Chains A and B, each alone.
Chain A
Amino acid sequence: MAKELMKGNEALAEAAIRAGCRFYSGYPITPQTEILEYLSWRMDEVGGTFVQTESELAGVNMLLGAAAAGARALTSSAGPGFSLKQEGISYLVAADLPAVIIDVMRIGTGLGDIAQGQGDYWQLTRGGGHGDYHTIVLAPASVQENCDMMQVAFQLAEKYRHPVLVASDAAIGQMMEGVELPPMTEHDIDSYDWAVRGCLPGDSPRKIQNTYYTRPDYVEYLREKYASMEANEQRWESYMTEDADVVLVAYGISSRISREAVDMARAQGLKLGLIRPITLWPFPVKAFDACPKAKAFMTVEINILGQMVDDVKLAVSSRCPVGFHGSFFSLPEPEEIIEQAKSLMEKEGI
């Protein structure tokens, strides 16, 4: 199939359509607004629904209604808007509803700014709303992966009856790359018996609410659901980890720069490797088994606090030191990553 040149956000939108998504409700905020703009005309073409809502709160709760009615439904946001989505995400989880929510990450706390960032990692992976939950989080690193992951996101959402988050960022959202678009698929809103549609005589009415009210096995059910996700849905890509002395850990746009750093370092005789988490939750702890020579790990993230460091420490059971290279506002530079890897090795006597 011929490749097309597409902007990352538009690729997310088109791929959602091709994954059978026929409902979108959302609110403009940079750097994800192209998703709305694209779907405002594209949904018309495919007979779907696009609603520009009065707020992110209305957007995510409208999504909940559409999901409860059986549609493949999507919303998206960024920064402060993504915080407002958390209310609905918590309710989607509580009611066992599948839906996909995109966070095109921007930089900083509060208003922050519109440049690329990776500061939502904790919010994405720890359950950003109230209560006691996780969601599967997919982290694309290219415009092609934006396309490929939408189908996966909807499939996982329906497999587990659980919202799935797609963690893109401003760099991938705004860049243009050649992509091969997936084929069009259709979704039947009557695929699932639980979706509301009207209760026929003799049937039990369908009730979409917190499953705490309806499942006697609520606690066990949820523990098993999350355990199953952790066992079966870890996704990652390893690059030159077999003989690496220091393994970088980076996702999204940072992973592409880290890969370049690995190549540059190896040309200098420095054995770096890279683990790229594709799922941020469940965190791909299995990836760390395939780093037999690693003496240290170092995360590369666009944030101040090194939000992924704790997950790497848990993955390696603290048997190796875990460093952190953080950039803020700017993208990480491969030369800086290599310098920091060198100083980590020096400090740890590697």
Chain B
Amino acid sequence: MKLKAPESVFSSASFCPGCGHGLASRLIGEVAEELGIQHSLVTVVDVACCSFNIDYWKFDTIMAAHGRDIPTAVGVKHVRPGSSVLAYMGDGAAYSIGMAETIHAALRNDNICVIVINNSVFGMTGGQMAPTTLPGEKTATSPKGKDPTRYGTLSGVELLKHMDIAYLARGELVGSAGMIKAKKLIKSAFQHQLKGDGFSLVELLSPCPTNLNLPPVKARDFVHNEMTKYFPTGVFIDKGGVE
């Protein structure tokens, strides 16, 4: 079997070694080509690390304001209903500054795909505490560890799983099994959009070795062993299925 990078992904990327973003970007490229939507897809990337994808993908792409890529994507979808539309963001955008935007797009069941890269910190700004930071986790703004009596830890999936949306799932960008599963989740989300089912959100747990101050292998282990305790993986909503 010959392995080949998807044509919709340029060969260079600016992500740190061991980061999950590059993996997610590639999986999205592969899914787009397998579904034959690579020439109609419009992607909207949030600022910070997500925004590198504007140079990485060969898709028409908008770089949105911080935490606003969901409404930006919704605006595109209304004007171009024949295009598949992806909003690609981090956990800070989805669950902190863009929380209202995430919840209300779900409430309207807007027919877009949202992919959230959850690495438990604000990456681009240097690893500050996020709503997804685990209790006790040391970050640039919780140097003694996150104090759970002052700052809770938020699961976006828990917030969304009782809403009337098309698809909700969480995977991890760890190991070959995690990658194969993550790709399946991404594909299902786009299939729901193609069927017109409405809002789908896939959260992907992702290692951030740079800001976790861990070598890539240990960062990967942190995702698999620690983050999954608070953020279990699985498919939580799959309205009508896609097969």
A contact residues vs B (CB 8 Å cutoff): 22-23, 25, 49, 51, 53-55, 57-59, 61-71, 73, 87-88, 91, 95, 189, 196-201, 205-210
CB-CB contacts below 8 Å: B29-84 with A: 38-42, 44, 51, 54-55, 57-65, 68, 71-80, 83
> Which listed residue (B55, B57, B62, B100) contacts A68, Cβ 8 A?
B62
Which residues of chain B have a CB within 8 Å of any CB of chain A? 38-42, 44, 51, 54-55, 57-65, 68, 71-80, 83, 100-101, 103-104, 108
Interface centre among B38, B59, B68 (most CB of A within 10 A): B68
* Known contacts A88-B65, A198-B40, then 18 further A-B pairs from the complex at CB < 8 Å, ordered by chain A residue: A22-B79, A51-B74, A51-B78, A54-B101, A57-B68, A59-B71, A61-B64, A65-B73, A70-B79, A71-B79, A73-B75, A91-B64, A196-B60, A196-B76, A197-B40, A207-B60, A208-B62, A209-B62
Cβ–Cβ < 8 Å partners of B71 in chain A: 25, 53, 57-59, 61-62, 65
> A227 CB to closest chain B CB, in angstroms?
27
Which residues of the partner chain A approach B68 to less than 8 Å between Cβ atoms?
57-58, 61, 64, 87-88
In the complex, the 8 A-B pairs of residues with the closest C-beta atoms, listed nearest first? A65-B75, A198-B40, A69-B79, A61-B68, A54-B104, A65-B72, A66-B75, A209-B63
Q: Which of A53, A200, A209, A210 contacts B39 (CB 8 A)?
A: A200
Q: Given the complex, which residues of B lie within 8 Å of A208, measured CB to CB?
A: 61-63
Q: Are A198 and B54 in contact (CB under 8 A)?
A: no
Chain B residue with minimal CB distance to A72? B79
Decide if A55 touches B58 in the complex (CB within 8 Å). no
Closest to A200 in B: B39
Residue from the list A49, A54, A61, A199 in contact with B79, Cβ < 8 A: A49
Chain A residues whose C-beta falls within 8 Å of the C-beta of B63 in the assembled complex: 95, 207-210
Which of A58, A64, A196 makes the CB contact (< 8 A) with B104? A58
Please pick, from A59, A196, A205, the residue contacting B57 in the complex, using a CB distance under 8 A: A205
Distance of A164 from chain B, by nearest CB (Å): 18
Chain B contacts for A199, CB-based, 8 A: 38-39, 58-60
Q: Provide 5 A-B residue pairs closer than 8 Å at the C-beta atoms, listed in order of the A residue.
A: A54-B100, A61-B71, A65-B44, A68-B72, A70-B79
**B59 contacts across to A, CB distance below 8 A:** 198-199, 205
Q: Are B62 and A65 in contact (CB under 8 A)?
A: yes
A53 with B65, Cβ < 8 A, contacts A61-B75, A197-B60, A199-B60 known: no
Complex Cα distance, B101 from A59, in Å, reads 10
Cα distance A66–B74 when bound, in Å? 8
- Enumerate chain B residues within 8 angstroms of A67, measured Cβ to Cβ: 75
A205 touches B75 (CB 8 A): no
